[in-house]
């Protein structure tokens, strides 16, 4: 049986993981604008991804303004690679 990661297998979270797997790290505003997400969507799904340690978050100050940067972890990278592999297997076996 081919199993998909439940955390990643959600449209918004898939997009976030795809983006971060390519960009390595990204700040909140860039990620939100690039994926055209609302603040509500962003915080909900980022909380989930950070909670399962697929993504790590870093808060800092740049020019006296708070900046949140997200970075994909090794665990997240492996999980996303596995997710894509499973998708490919589903396509090739069905």
Decide whether 15 or 73 has the Cβ nearer to another protein.
Answer: 15
**Least Cβ distance, residue 78 to another protein (angstroms):** 16
CA–CA dist 86, 26 (Å, integer): 26
36 secondary structure, DSSP code: T
Q: Which residues bind another protein (CB under 8 A)?
A: 1-4, 6, 9, 11, 14-15, 18-19, 21-23, 25-27, 29-30, 33-35, 84, 87-88, 90-91, 94
Q: Residue 12 CB, nearest distance to another protein (Å)?
A: 11
What's the CA gap between 76 and 52, in Å, rounded? 9
79 phi, psi to nearest 5 deg? -65, -40
């Amino acid at each position: 049986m081919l199993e998909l990661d439940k955390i990643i297998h959600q449209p918004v979270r898939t997009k976030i993981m795809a983006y971060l797997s390519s960009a390595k790290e990204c700040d909140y505003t860039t990620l939100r604008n690039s994926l055209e997400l609302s603040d509500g969507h962003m915080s909900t799904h980022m909380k989930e991804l950070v909670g399962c340690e697929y993504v790590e978050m870093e808060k800092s100050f740049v020019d006296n303004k708070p900046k949140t940067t997200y970075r994909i972890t090794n665990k997240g990278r492996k999980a996303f690679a596995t997710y894509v592999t499973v998708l490919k297997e589903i396509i090739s076996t069905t």
